[in-house]
Structures are given as structure tokens and as C-alpha cells.
Structure 1
């Protein structure tokens, strides 16, 4: 009865006492001092091939959305941090959309997309988002390569014996050796395969967390990257204990979470025995996330340790944290909750405390509680997302803390309905979208992509990112497309993330912190003499290639700022700057692009890495697309650069990069680099997105003395075709993309697109934002012969 009365009392007091929290001002100060600005970018998929286009929509959460007006996106190769492509796009109201062309000559392997906005803090972008991806090939390579560990390192022989083998596609010896460049332990070595197409390597064990061997192979005109994580001999596991509430309390039952990782920081699923004074008292198991949970009636005079049942580790005994004589132990069986959460509080003495539910920026509940030695507290939840339950004494010193996730609902925010579940090739798909949430409107991006172009290990979704990944550090992979919908996963990680990265002391002292300087990235230029000496006069500069004419003037030293909002260029095109009054002089323009500097710095950031598990065999065939994803094979063409035509970039294209394919389609995405392409003629009409469109011509003059600048790009419109021409191949892994769709409550939004020539399963993914929440929903369809 007393427990029930306490639960009711807390519910009654919550609303009345909320406003009386003496730390309200500190919450406000901390909210200002600790920015929660975050960026998420929805890319249509995470597995691409050369010549494909990457489509994306960026969603920004920021205290001042209007200051963020540029979204920069770069494609970075993981093997050597090389930036292969980069563009800038306009951002308005926290939303940006765009597209990025993947170079035709790109090598297969692991990459990541780097995205950030123009606002910087202490010289670094305030928000950064990274999306790992894979580049695979639809063409048959001229060679196949395998890396195999033939003899793993032991404690006595700390050397890994690795064998690289290179053969033809038919698994025969190649007539010539393959050039091999490999990097290991900070050293780069160049060698060649022997007469059997092999290179034996003896690599000593190094101290780094991951022994990463990276190789570049080159045979005639083909190149490829391979990498492998080498195993170590027996090593110490990383085992950490997380008592609910923060401490193990003497004389009470404590709920304790356990997290086990290997030397690569990968979770380990294992068994362990809990000992009390060398006597086994419990058997504990960790799940696939490396997390387990057990209960312990702690006695301060005893010694508790955990012994792992695992032959891989050197030592297996791990002492539990020190037991303290007084305090509060918490237990929450369901930390992921909707409108209420039940907390069991245990203590070895009665005490009067204060209970807060907050997120370090806002206090949702504040109430006094008179705790007995064991008590259940039913707490109302009026928020959505992560929050912390903190119990303090009368001096606001924390006694116990536990993280929860409130406002969780299994109800679908959207209903996705297709007219069929299975389709034949080149048939219409009718998709209806309805908003089920209490919000009146949502803005979403829609993708329909081949299911095997969505690698689960590389998946990011807007809900999981904003609610989990961006708030908590170093989370294990969830094993699902949407981590937040995996209740077992969320419950597990909350049990080991009870004490957040923000400390209570940092929160208390936040009012004393000085705000760091905030700035914006710029593009500046200077007109100099041919000897690089600055000029001493005002010069007029004009641009070509942008959607509007731009003329600006330098100061007396030739300096100028380039206004990005006036440099908008069509998809995959660049801006060209000329000195208007050159009059035969050899003066030139030098550009300083802050975005390009940030690309180089961020691409080499040590904070970014993709966790990989050790493997005994790596095969280059894994980087090939399946046979049913056949792409158009073009004859190899050699394009020689003509110095008089500095705008030429594609075979058959004019100075602006525009071309027409054999089906009279302007800039057809299926025929990039086709030798049958021809230059478009001004005044003629061509097909653009299925409509006859007049081509205005190419306004870029073939003039020397230019400077190329990456201005603001216009997103490429996704080409929705009905594929009525049977000769036109339709091997597209992305069937549909749309970046800005308004979904209104009680209205059905209809979307139509067509299946192509690839059979198999395709995933429809809709994600975006509504007022105060994030939207994610998926639907599966199948295409059959």
C-alpha cells in the first residue's frame, strides 16, 4: 500500500513542482553552452557503381537555422583519404538537397561521404555527418585477387603469414606480374607478384588496436584496393561494469550491466562466471552487442570478480567496481517507454532526496521523494527521446543516475501502400503515402532502391541518428536498417550508457564557460601578376557557367570575396572566372576555397574509422555486382585533352558538358561516355525527363585565361522513365528518388514510377521530419521475370 501511495504522490506532485527546480537557470546556461546542432543526410543507398549518381537530402537541427546556408558534400576514399569529388549546395530552413556524380574511373572499395555546413566553431565545421559506402563494379575486372592468412600469429611467433594471390578471371596465371603497393604499420612497400602470381608477406604484430593491411594492385590498366584486419595472438578483453544508478551499494540488490569487447573494440558474445570470494555464484551471458546483465546482493567485506569462459583472451579475471557503504541503486526493467517509466530504488537506509527527469537542457520533472529501503517509483513521461533520471541530495549533489528513452511508440508514423507486392519488368508502381502521426504535415525524401544496395552495417536512418547515434558515443552495430525499432538493441545500449558523456560537474559550471567564436566558411580570391605578386588596383571580374551573370570588383590590392549565393551552376558543372579588363596582360586569379581545405582536414580526421572484424580471407570478387545487375558495357575510349577546349569532360559532349544519346535524350544517365553520343544543337528539342525540351545552347565561350571554381550546384532531377523503348536498357538500382515531398494528415500522397530490367527485391524508404519528430518507414516490393 505504501509503495502505491508513493507512486500516486509522485504523479500528483510532478506537475506542481516542476517550475520550482532551483537548477532551471543552469539548464538554460548549459543548453546555450553545449550546442545540440546536428546534421543528417539521407542518401538513396550505400552501395554504388561507377557512373552512378548519388542523390541525397540533408536535414539540419540547429539553434539558428538561418546561419547555415551551404551544405558541402565530398566523396572520400578510405584507403588513402583521397577526396574524389565534392560539391556545395544551397541550404534553406535546415533542408538541402543535391546530387553527386561518381567518376567513371573510380576504383572499387570502401568510401565515405562527408557532409557539413558553412558554420564553423574554432575553425572547424559545427556539424559534420559521415555516411560509409561501398563502390562495386559491374564490369568484369582483368584480374582476381585474394588475401589469405596462411598462418596466424601466436604468443611465441608474433608474425602473421599472409599470402596475396592474383589470377585471371578464369583462375589462370597472368602472363605479366601485378604491381603491388602495400601499407602496414605506417610503412609503404612496393613489390610485384612472382611467376605464380603470388606475394608472401610476413607481418609482425603491432600494438595498434587494429592491424590494418592495405594493398593497391595494378595490372595493365586496371587497379584495385584490398584490405584485411590481421588477428592478434591471445589478448586482454575490454570488460566494463555499469551498475544501474552509477555505484554498487553495500547490503542491497544491485542491477549491473556488463559490456565485453575485443581488442578491435568489437562486441563479444560470451559466457562468464561471477565469483564471490572464489566461490561461483552466477553464470552470465552477453548478447550479440556484447552486453549482459546480472543482479548482485553486494557485501562490502567480500571480493567479487568475473571470469570469462573464452579461450581467446590472455587473462579472464575482472574485478567488479568498489562497493560503497551508502547510496542508491536503481533498476529499470523497461528503460524504453511511452508515457510512464517504473524505477525500483534500493538503499540501505531511509533518506529524503530529490528526483529529476531532464536532458541537461530542460527539466521535465522535479519532485521530492522520501525513499525507503526498497521502493517503486512510477514516473510520468511527457517527452520523446533520451533523458536522464537523476536523484540528488538537498545540496543538488548526484546520488544516482539512469538514462531512459521516453515517448517510444510502435505505431507506424506513415502507411505505405503499393498497388502490388510483386511486379514484372517495366511495370508501373503506384505508391500511396498517408501520415498517421498527430502532426499535421511532414517533409520527407523517398527512395526505391535495390535491397542489396543497402548494406545493413553501413545503414543510417534519421530516427536512430538524431535520437541515438548523435547523442551516444561508440555504439555497436544494431544489425537492422532502423536501429530505433530494435527494442532489444536500444534497451541493451541504455544499460551501459547510464552516465552520459556530459558530466554533472560540467553541467554545474556551464555558466562560467566562454562561448567559442562562430564563423562561416568563405571563398576568397586575389588577382595577381604572373609572378604571383599582388596587383595594386581595382579589377573587374566576370563569371561564366552560372545560371545568372555575375560581375564583381576587387579592392585596391586585387582581393575579393566570392558571393556563393550568386554562383549557382547546373549539375556537375563548374563556374569560370575571367578578368574583364585584362587587355593582354598576364594577370591571373588565385582562389582560396575554405571548403576544399576542410575536405582535406576532415578526410584525414583520426576520429573517423569504420570498425572491421578480423578475417582469414578477403576476395576481390566481393567488390563485384551480381550478374543480374548487368550494366551497359561501353567500348574503351581514349580521350585526349584538347588545350583549346578546356571545357571538354565527356566523350561526345560540348563545351558545357552537354550531350545527346542515340535515343535523343539530353544528358542521358544511361549513356555517359558512349562514343555514339553527339553534341546538342541550340534551338533543337530533346527529351528531358520524358518531355520535349528546347535546348538553349552552350553560352560558355572557349576563352583562355580562366579560373575554375566550385560554386553552388543545382541538384540533378531524377529521371523517371516508362522505358517504352525496348532497345533502351534499364539496369538501374535506384528506381525512384524525390527529395522534397510534403505529406499532409488525412490526405493520401500518390507517387508513381516504373520497374526496370533488374529483378529481385527492392526497398522503398521514406524518411524526413515533422514538427517535433523524425519520420522513417520502409516497404518491400519484388520484381520478377
Structure 2
């Protein structure tokens, strides 16, 4: 028996080729696929159940799936808020720094209640059939709806699946069978099951609290099988079992020091294939070990030292000597995972505030996110960064309560985890996608916005890129015959324009004369969807009376006094059909885009694939079918345009806006249309009052500015509503230095709170902790 181990240092030619050693071919295929970088994304939401008017806080963590280190090369992250039909409600382009990005989705009174999800992906992920993007479900509640109305009256319906280890049940060969029982919400239940052969009970099996278990079976191809689980209200039956007359199955077991892989077969197969060599491959996305096993007996055992396997997931696959893939089995090694499970939380009260100190032993530098919820909260987020990066990536379907597989180290947890892999893990990865020939990579790895500038005429000038909020200035030097130039690493934020200046040999600046092109210029199309299971509201919320928030305190704290020409303003108001709002410099800096401004005015906004559509919830602004009419925009009294033309509109140059919501003004021969008139003057921008030395170019797609998470103000901090669904604080990007982090938050009368902490160290250490902490009495 020979053992081959390969570390990734070279790129080899792919596929199982004739005349080529099949083991070497296997290694070559793995090397080619594994050299391609692949990102994996985890989303940490501040909670799971929201009420209209709350901010949805989220932090994205991005790693290199091969190295399990922060993906430092990832810069562009696309994040979408999807409704229950997976239509895009809102979308944002975020700048990723050291593998981390954070932002918020705002909700208001016009946000429909229901099931939603947040999806995060990169452009590079579009190259893969099974991209490791993130998608997290959430629920938004309407305070005007009684909680009792939200509980489904339908009874739980269950489905039972029976799955052989490695995907094959061979006639006359003992095989471990996985059993999984799930309801329509994706939740399992503890139960007992029975196995019937030709109508006679031959065995029983047990399912754990997640509805997962296993049992041994000796398959008989001439017999009929039935599997039955009896619940208090129903019987769940699975009839039939696919049994192969000939074949090879795999069984995986472990001891304290070794992992055993057993290729098992029957007499009929040995008569045809005795002595034939089979190949067993074990990979961890980065390294591969390949073994030859000769099929000589009914059981052909391969013993491997456990300490030679990588911490985390190991994929065991087996093949014929001609390279025909037979099946897979996952094995998870928990020892050696780089996890920080229980940071210490210290609280001290200082008058009306709480100071929080966090102690992360063994971590020098990291980024973290912290959600603080009342001690009786029923809206705790269900995210688990360790599961997303080490476990769920390799599984099919959702994992119920993933924390149970990482919090304890005992035999019961190991058995439960292995049963999870047995029932949900063996069909997740297609071998050909993992190791087969690589298709052409069509989608680029993005580093901000690429700008390509075509010169209007031959020029001997150099060009100066003026700095932005996240972009440094740079000088572009051209050759004499150069007719265009391009550069990467451009990170414009909402409201920013591309500012370019041409410079002659004396260094004198003048406006640039170019035709710019931007890539990306719109949100990419990414149609991968994981179907969310129905979101089940906890029974403990049945008695909770939802409440509105106290909006007497304005969310914006920027107050700037400016002199206003009252005569002019009054004259404009008198001649307008709608409501006038004049802008000062504070407004121009506060509203980073037209979307944010209109959302603040209770407009409903659909944003999909770079297209904006605006609606106002009013009966007088609907069509003949009572569907809301899309708003139209008029810029400086020119021809009306739709919202899709306002992507990247510079809010810093606005003079005033008129909102005509009367429905009486006709546009394109149509009445009942909301009209938004925008009057602007480029000289009003607080960022630059003059552009005689450079040229401004509108950027069609920009990065979001950092957003502040606003914690709602509650009327009663002792109510069940606050205790069960309230928010105390959210820290989306909290830096850890030398194992320490700290922040201050308001004291709202809750002495015991939940702290849900996730994070990622610069060395790849993952942080996950869900714990309660109490205020220290001074």
C-alpha cells in the first residue's frame, strides 16, 4: 500500500487521462482546482426578529477557504436584502477591509412585515457552481398586528429520509444507515423508529433532538423495507430502499488515535473484481492524501493516524482504478480548531451608562461584532461563524442549533456530529466540481472600481486623480502615443464623483477631457438562492404586545445653523404645488444618496440590479388596479425621468427638493403619480466650491459610507415587548488589541443581558460566544 501526500506548490495538468498513472492524475486534478482562490462569507446579524422601524445591523466576515485566514484581497462585497419571494428590496456595495465589512439596512413604517433574508457575495464567486456566499434569514413584525395572528394553525408535517453511508447499500453488506426526520420548518424532533423487512419488525433506531440518528442494516435485495416513526399525532413512513446487487460501500470509524476507512463488498462483486485496485482520497480543500486499496476481501481496511488529518472537515472519496467516482463520506476532526469560545465580559455602571470590557485570552489582534440584547430576549441571532466556515459549507440543508457541535467535547457530541455528516454531508460536494477540469474564469476578482479613461484628443498631459474619502490621490503618466489609460483601486463613496485634472509639464492644472468607463458600473446579477425554511416565531412571544417606538428624539444629531434668504424661500414655497425642503451644508453631507433621503420621507424603495424604483404608500397615488405608481423625478425643471437614472446622484449639490404627493399633477398623460422635483447647483457642494481646475464625472456605482446603527428608543424598558424583542446595543466593528476591547452603551435598567460575540483574528482565530453577563454593583 502506498501513501501519497501533496502540498500545494505547483499547478499541474488535469483529468484522468489514458496511459497516465491514475493516482497522479487524481493529484493533478486536485492541484489545479485548489490553486484557485475561493472566498467564504459569514454574516453576523444583531438579532433574528425585528419590528418595523428598527435598523438591521450586520457584519460580514470573509475568509480564504483554503487557508481559513481573513481574505485580505477581497475588497468589493455585494449585500442584498431579499423579501420572502427572494426579490431584491435593497442592496449595497461595501468596502471590505482585512476581511471585514459592516453596515445596516433601515426599515420604516412602510416596510412590509414578513420573512426576509440578507445575502452577501462577491463578483469572483460567480465563477463557481457552488459559491460559498452567505444568506441569513430574519423576520420583520408589524406592531399593528396582534401576535396571535402570526402563529400558524397548520400542524407540523414531517418527512423521514433514510440514507446509506457513502451513498451505497450493497446486497449482503452491513451498512450504517442515517435517519433524519424534519418538519416543514426544518426542525427535527426526538423520536423512536422501527425498521420492517417484508412486513416484519427487525430493528429499532433512536433520533436525537434534531431528528437525526443512525442504525446498522444488512440489506437484502430480494426484500421490501419500510421505516416508521410514530409520533403523538401522526405516523411518518419511508418505504423502499435502493439496494445494489453488486458494488462497493464505505464505512468510516475512529479510535483515539486512528481513523479507519473500510471498503466493503459482496461475493458477486469479488467474483468480477477481486484484486482490482481502488483509490481512496482524503482532502481538506488545501492538501490531499491518496491511497491505493486492493479489493481482495469482503472488508478491506485502511487505517490512518488521526493526527495526520487536518482540523475541521476532511472529505473521503473513493474511486475505481479508472477514475470512476463511487462515493463520498465526510469526517470532522474537532481537535485543533482555532476557536476562541468564551471571552470574559465585565460590566460596570457609570450613572446612566454601562462600560463594557472584553477580555479575549490568546488573541492579539482581531475584529469583532457584539450584539447586546435583554436577558429575556427571544430574538437571539442564530448565526455561528465556526459552523459557517468549518461545517455548513460541506453540508446540504440547514443545521439546527449548530452551537451544540462545538460547545462540548464528549462522545455524545462526536456521535451526533457524525450522524449529521452521515445524513446531510455526503451529497453536498460534487467531485467533478471539486477536482475536475476548471472552466474559464469569466468574472474578475475586483479591487474597487476600475476606471478606463479614453482621451478625447492626443495629449501630452499627465493626469491627477483627486483624493476621495477612501481613495488616495495618484498621478497617471502617459506615453506620447497613449490614447487611454486605466487604473484599479478606486473606492468612491455615495455622493462622490470622479475628479480628474490634466497637468502640463509646468504642473499647471486644468479640467481633464476624457470619456470615462467604470467597471463594475452596476450591481452584478447573482441568482444563487438558498430556499429559506419558514421562520417559526417562538411560542414565548404569543403574549407579547408589540409597540411603536418613541420617535420624539431625532436620529440625526447634526444641527447646523445657516443663514437663509427668507424672501426667496417664501416665494418658492408660494409657487410650488408640493412641499418644499431647502438644503443647507449639513443636509448635503447628511443625505448620502437620494434613496436615503426618500426613505426618511417614508417612500418605499425597490433596488435591484442597479435599478432604483420609488413608491409612496398612498391611495391617491395608485393606478386603476390599486397598485402604487412609480415616482418620477424632474431635475431643474427639465424633462421627467425615472429613479433608475439617479444612481450615484450627488446630493452635495442640492439647493432644494419639492415633493408633490397630491396626485393631481399629470405626468406623461398619467395622474396619481408622485413627483419629486430636484433643484441643484454644483457650486453649492460643501466638498468643493470650485471645479475650474478639474472635471467631475458621475460614478454609476459607489461604495456605501460607514453607517451608524441607531438603537430604538422605547416607551417602556420594563415591558415584555422590550424584554423579549428589544435591542440594547450593536457594535458592528469592534477592534481587539492585545486581547482587549471596550465600549460604552446606555444603561436602560436591565442588569442582566445577552452578549452575542463573533469575530475573526488576523491569524484566522474564530470567535463565537453567546453568554449572559450582569452589571457589577459599585
| TM-score band, normalised by shorter chain | 0.5 to 0.7
Whether 1:359 and 2:283 are equivalent positions in the alignment is yes
Whether 1:656 and 2:589 are equivalent positions in the alignment is yes
Give SS of 2:397's match: coil
Please give the alpha-carbon distance, in whole angstroms, between the structure 1 residues aligned to 2:141 and 2:484. 43
- 1:84 maps to which residue? 90
Q: CA deviation at 1:277?
A: 1.9
The correspondence for 1:575, drawn from 496, 499, 509, is: 496
- 1:519 maps to which residue? 444
8 Å contact from structure 1 (residues 68, 118) kept in 2: no
- 2:395 maps to which residue? 472
Residues 463-498 of structure 1, C-alpha deviation per residue, up to 9 Å, x if partnerless? 111112222221342264876866565222211245
Give SS of 1:449's match: strand
Whether 1:699 and 2:683 are equivalent positions in the alignment is no
- 2:63 maps to which residue? 60
- 1:763 maps to which residue? 755
- 2:530 maps to which residue? 608
1:551–1:123 distance in 2 versus 1, CA, 3 Å? farther
The correspondence for 1:379, drawn from 274, 284, 304, is: 304
- 1:111 maps to which residue? 116
1:55–1:23 distance in 2 versus 1, CA, 3 Å? same
Please give the alpha-carbon distance, in whole angstroms, between the structure 2 residues aligned to 1:16 and 1:708. 50
Instruction: Output the TM-score relative to the length of structure 1.
Output: 0.60
Please give the alpha-carbon distance, in whole angstroms, between the structure 1 residues aligned to 2:367 and 2:418. 28
Q: CA deviation at 1:115?
A: 2.1
Whether 1:715 and 2:720 are equivalent positions in the alignment is no
The correspondence for 2:360, drawn from 409, 433, 441, is: 433
Please give the alpha-carbon distance, in whole angstroms, between the structure 2 residues aligned to 1:354 and 1:415. 45
Whether 1:301 and 2:222 are equivalent positions in the alignment is yes
Please give the alpha-carbon distance, in whole angstroms, between the structure 2 residues aligned to 1:561 and 1:131. 41
Stretch moving more, 609-618 or 339-348: 609-618
Q: CA deviation at 1:282?
A: 1.9
1:53–1:76 distance in 2 versus 1, CA, 3 Å? same
Q: CA deviation at 1:447?
A: 1.7
Q: CA deviation at 1:611?
A: 0.3
Q: CA deviation at 1:714?
A: 4.9
Please give the alpha-carbon distance, in whole angstroms, between the structure 1 residues aligned to 2:163 and 2:106. 45
- 2:38 maps to which residue? 37
Please give the alpha-carbon distance, in whole angstroms, between the structure 1 residues aligned to 2:203 and 2:771. 44
Residues 227-272 of structure 1, C-alpha deviation per residue, up to 9 Å, x if partnerless? x87849x98x654332224322333432211234456766565544
Residues 519-571 of structure 1, C-alpha deviation per residue, up to 9 Å, x if partnerless? 356869999xxxxxxx9999999989746798999x9xxx99996744444xx
Please give the alpha-carbon distance, in whole angstroms, between the structure 2 residues aligned to 1:21 and 1:615. 57
**Residue pairs, 1:719-730, within 5 angstroms:** none
Please give the alpha-carbon distance, in whole angstroms, between the structure 2 residues aligned to 1:299 and 1:125. 36
Stretch moving more, 263-272 or 763-772: 263-272
Q: CA deviation at 1:431?
A: 2.4
Q: CA deviation at 1:101?
A: 5.6
8 Å contact from structure 2 (residues 280, 290) kept in 1: yes
Give SS of 2:343's match: strand
- 1:71 maps to which residue? 77
Whether 1:128 and 2:133 are equivalent positions in the alignment is yes
Q: CA deviation at 1:40?
A: 1.9
1:247–1:484 distance in 2 versus 1, CA, 3 Å? farther
Give SS of 1:518's match: coil
Q: Name structure 2 gaps, 5 residues minimum.
A: 9-19, 503-512, 557-568, 593-599, 602-684, 712-725
CA RMSD of aligned residues (A): 5.9
8 Å contact from structure 1 (residues 260, 267) kept in 2: yes
Please give the alpha-carbon distance, in whole angstroms, between the structure 2 residues aligned to 1:455 and 1:72. 29
Q: CA deviation at 1:23?
A: 2.5
**Residue pairs, 1:109-258, within 5 angstroms:** 109-119=114-124, 121=126, 128-135=133-140, 141=143, 143-145=144-146, 231=154, 238-258=159-179
Whether 1:782 and 2:771 are equivalent positions in the alignment is no
Give SS of 1:574's match: coil
1:26–1:345 distance in 2 versus 1, CA, 3 Å? closer
Q: CA deviation at 1:580?
A: 9.8
Residues 631-678 of structure 1, C-alpha deviation per residue, up to 9 Å, x if partnerless? 6644899xx99999x99899994321199xxxxxxxxxxxx99xxxxx
Please give the alpha-carbon distance, in whole angstroms, between the structure 2 residues aligned to 1:53 and 1:649. 30
Q: CA deviation at 1:280?
A: 1.4
Please give the alpha-carbon distance, in whole angstroms, between the structure 2 residues aligned to 1:658 and 1:699. 14
Please give the alpha-carbon distance, in whole angstroms, between the structure 1 residues aligned to 2:321 and 2:101. 51
Whether 1:340 and 2:264 are equivalent positions in the alignment is no
Residues 66-97 of structure 1, C-alpha deviation per residue, up to 9 Å, x if partnerless? 763322334344467343352431445xx133
1:614–1:762 distance in 2 versus 1, CA, 3 Å? closer
Stretch moving more, 420-429 or 359-368: 420-429
Q: Name structure 1 gaps, 5 residues minimum.
A: 1-9, 149-225, 528-534, 582-586, 660-671, 674-696, 721-730
**Residue pairs, 1:459-538, within 5 angstroms:** 459-478=382-401, 480=403, 487=414, 489-497=416-424, 499-504=426-431, 510-511=436-437, 513-519=438-444
Q: CA deviation at 1:620?
A: 10
Please give the alpha-carbon distance, in whole angstroms, between the structure 2 residues aligned to 1:421 and 1:21. 67
Please give the alpha-carbon distance, in whole angstroms, between the structure 2 residues aligned to 1:537 and 1:146. 69
Give SS of 2:420's match: helix
The alignment covers a number of residue pairs equal to: 604
The correspondence for 2:523, drawn from 597, 610, 613, is: 597
Please give the alpha-carbon distance, in whole angstroms, between the structure 1 residues aligned to 2:484 and 2:775. 55
Give SS of 1:98's match: strand
Please give the alpha-carbon distance, in whole angstroms, between the structure 2 residues aligned to 1:124 and 1:370. 34
8 Å contact from structure 1 (residues 343, 376) kept in 2: yes
- 1:668 maps to which residue? none
8 Å contact from structure 1 (residues 575, 710) kept in 2: no
**Residue pairs, 1:369-408, within 5 angstroms:** 372-373=297-298, 378-381=303-306, 382=308, 383-392=310-319, 394-395=321-322, 397=324, 401-408=328-335
Give SS of 2:386's match: helix
Stretch moving more, 377-386 or 77-86: 77-86
Please give the alpha-carbon distance, in whole angstroms, between the structure 1 residues aligned to 2:82 and 2:187. 24
Whether 1:277 and 2:198 are equivalent positions in the alignment is yes
Please give the alpha-carbon distance, in whole angstroms, between the structure 2 residues aligned to 1:501 and 1:464. 15
8 Å contact from structure 2 (residues 451, 487) kept in 1: no
Q: CA deviation at 1:363?
A: 2.2
Please give the alpha-carbon distance, in whole angstroms, between the structure 2 residues aligned to 1:505 and 1:567. 37
Whether 1:98 and 2:102 are equivalent positions in the alignment is yes
8 Å contact from structure 2 (residues 192, 229) kept in 1: yes
Please give the alpha-carbon distance, in whole angstroms, between the structure 1 residues aligned to 2:374 and 2:489. 38
8 Å contact from structure 1 (residues 44, 737) kept in 2: no
Instruction: Output the TM-score relative to the length of structure 2.
Output: 0.60
Give SS of 1:763's match: strand
8 Å contact from structure 2 (residues 357, 742) kept in 1: yes
1:658–1:67 distance in 2 versus 1, CA, 3 Å? closer
Please give the alpha-carbon distance, in whole angstroms, between the structure 2 residues aligned to 1:38 and 1:652. 41
1:656–1:408 distance in 2 versus 1, CA, 3 Å? same
Please give the alpha-carbon distance, in whole angstroms, between the structure 2 residues aligned to 1:250 and 1:423. 72
The correspondence for 1:286, drawn from 191, 195, 207, is: 207
Q: CA deviation at 1:738?
A: 3.6
8 Å contact from structure 2 (residues 81, 90) kept in 1: yes
8 Å contact from structure 1 (residues 249, 347) kept in 2: yes
Please give the alpha-carbon distance, in whole angstroms, between the structure 2 residues aligned to 1:635 and 1:769. 36
Residues 134-172 of structure 1, C-alpha deviation per residue, up to 9 Å, x if partnerless? 4468xxx5x334675xxxxxxxxxxxxxxxxxxxxxxxx
Greater relative CO (CA pairs within 8 A, separation 6+): 2
1:30–1:590 distance in 2 versus 1, CA, 3 Å? same
Residues 184-203 of structure 1, C-alpha deviation per residue, up to 9 Å, x if partnerless? xxxxxxxxxxxxxxxxxxxx
